[in-house]
Copies of this chain bind each other. A is one copy, B any other.
Amino acid sequence: MSIQHALLTSLLEKPSSGYELANRFDHSIGYFWQATHQQIYRELARMADAGWLLAEHDATGTSRRKKTYHVLEAGRRELARWIAEPGDPGRSDQALLIKLRAEAVLGPLGASQELHRLIALHKTRLQMYRDIEQRDFPAADMDHAQKLRHAVLRMGIKTEENWLAWAKETLPLME
């Protein structure tokens, strides 16, 4: 849904062609988001239609295949709007990472509120997992099957703890 915003951020960092973005997505942002080149070309075309991007045709000699996309003011506004927007739970963790990168280029625009919101959400979820752990997984007397199910829950707990530890580290960076 917000592959567009990831692309906008990437283009703000450096104006590029679709091909370059497809390769760039193997680095940095691409560690969290993967996108095929068709997805990228489609979204670039749409954003150009919407007036968020300008396609600069590199007319080198006879051919003018390569297009370098630049973010226009409307694109900047859209990205700024999105940063402040709550974002749906489930994908908002990944979205926050893009929001941080976007703020690195655009300056502070409300991502810290998103961070606070997500901290509350993850604290609630962690507490819920811990309650389940206490209820369903006594320290002793677990058979093998139960230990396996416990391991699955442990992953959930550790993931939440880890996320919160990262948030604590990251919070001071955002005013």
Contact = CB atoms under 8 A, between A and B. Distances in A.
Interface of A: 28, 31-32, 34, 90, 97, 100-101, 103-105, 129, 144-149, 151-152, 154-156, 158-159, 161-162, 165-166, 169-170, 173
Could you say how many copies of this chain the assembly holds? 2
Nearest to A100: B148
Given A154-B166, A155-B166, A158-B166, A101 B148 contact: yes
A104 B148 contact: yes
Nearest to A156: B31
A21 to B, nearest CB: 17
Given A105-B145, A147-B173, A152 B100 contact: yes
A90 B36 CA distance: 14
Contacts of A148: 100-101, 103-104, 173
A100 B155 CA distance: 12
A154 B100 CA distance: 12
A98 to B, nearest CB: 8
A151 B170 contact: yes
Nearest to A125: B31
A162 B157 CA distance: 11
A45 to B, nearest CB: 25
Contacts of A101: 148-149, 152
A158 B104 CA distance: 21
- Most central of A101, A104, A148 by chain B CB within 10 Å: A148
A155 to B, nearest CB: 5
A155 B104 contact: no
Contacts of A165: 158
Nearest to A102: B148
